[in-house]
Amino acid sequence: MNKAKETNEEAITAVLEYRDVSKKYTSGDCEVYALNSVSTKIYPGELTALVGPSGSGKSTMQHLGAGFDKASSGVVLLMGSDIGLYPEKELSILRNKHIGFIFQSFNLIPVMTVLENVMYPATVYGKPYRFDGSAIERAMYLLERVSLVNHVKKRPHQLSGGQRQRVAIARSLMNMPDLIFADEPTANLDHTVGKEILELLVSLNRDMNVTIVFSTHDPSVMACARRVISLQDGKIVGDTQ
């Protein structure tokens, strides 16, 4: 990275920052580090892939970044705020406002329709919304973007795997988040459908300028990322842009 780029990035507030972050677990007399002294920044609009073998720290990095777990040491900053200082209720509100999630198992609510699943993040804490118009208008716009506007009354069990992942993508965008975590988003899909989902995410990243952080083993996901952070044994061993 050249000096001009470093100066330009420092002028931009990072969406997410890890400062010397570690997460360790105790097993008997042993201490196991899931993440070990990790420091990095994720900037607005980035499409970043976290890659590495199982147990390398990819999921831990996402869980700590989302505030689902607490770091053993170090600081995690979301939109400049130290999330370790927030009480659970306030952290939940912060997470709902700023972060969207796409899970490999979709995690849709079975008893809700497609439209209700997409709207759900906006119903947890209600107004004021970060988007203009009503929650229904926002959800319908997103369902149109993911080509599911004709399936709004269906429930998850009536959809294919690719369609369910499209619902999950629309839901992740509902509150106009600054950051989306995508955990192996193509892992449960066949190659053709996985490619379609990947192309959709790339286009949404480009069109909406939403920051996306993948964890993945999929070479095609790595290839589409504009930045690849490689992890091994809880440490960052590579960061390619």
Q: Which domains does the chain have, with CATH numbers?
A: 44-68+84-240 (3.40.50.300)
Task: Give me the mean pLDDT over the 137-151 stretch.
Answer: 96
Phi, psi of 30 (to 5 degrees): -105, 145
DSSP 35-92: EEEEEEEE-TT-EEEEE-STTSSHHHHHHHHHTSS--SEEEEEETTEEGGGS-HHHHH
Phi, psi of 12 (to 5 degrees): -100, 135
How far apart CA 206 and CA 209 sit, in angstroms, is 5
DSSP 184: S
Query: Which band of pLDDT confidence, cut at 50, 70 and 90, is reported for residue 6?
Result: very low
Neighbours of 232 (CB within 10 A): 14
Residue 202 clears pLDDT 60, i.e. is over it: yes
Select from 164, 33, 190 the least CA-distant residue to 103. Answer: 164
Write out pLDDT tens, residues 188-198: 889 899 899 99
Query: Which band of pLDDT confidence, cut at 50, 70 and 90, is reported for residue 104?
Result: confident
Residues in the chain: 241
Ranking 1-5, 48-52, 187-191 by mean pLDDT, the lowest is: 1-5
